[in-house]
């Protein structure tokens, strides 16, 4: 399965999560988004974001100061009241 790559290196909180959210909205359920970030706060931000939105944080790693997050878009739309 292919994945979309979003490079938000150099951006500070909350921009990486906001940009990822925008990208995920344009994707179909089950598609994957890989986010590349340098802000250490992104670790907790993406964990919380995925927990709250229902997207799956499949993996995250760090190499040479660059964090990589792999997110699978949730399959169906949730009720905005949730």
**Each residue of 20-77: pLDDT tens digit?**
999 999 999 999 999 999 999 999 999 999 999 999 999 999 999 999 999 999 987 5
Within a domain: 82: no
pLDDT of residue 52: 97
Options 4, 11, 13, 18, the catalytic residue = 13
Residue positions counted in the chain = 82
Within a domain: 77? no
- Helices and strands counted in the chain (H then E): 2, 4
Cβ pair 73, 27 in contact under 8 A: yes
| pLDDT the model gives residue 4 | 97
The pLDDT assigned to 82 comes to: 44
Residue 2: the pLDDT is: 79
Q: Which DSSP category does 27 fall into? A: S
Residue 9 and residue 14: Cα distance in Å, rounded?
Answer: 12
> What total of structural domains would you count in the chain?
1
CATH of the domain at 28: 3.30.110.40
Question: Does 50 participate in catalysis according to the annotation?
Answer: no
């Amino acid at each position: 399965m292919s994945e979309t790559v979003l490079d938000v290196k150099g951006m500070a909180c909350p921009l990486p999560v906001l940009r990822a959210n925008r990208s995920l909205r344009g994707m179909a359920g089950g598609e994957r988004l890989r986010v590349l970030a340098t802000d250490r706060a992104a670790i907790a931000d993406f964990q919380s974001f995925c927990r709250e939105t229902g997207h799956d944080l499949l993996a995250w790693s760090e190499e040479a100061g660059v964090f990589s997050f792999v997110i699978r878009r949730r399959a169906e739309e949730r009720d905005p009241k949730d």
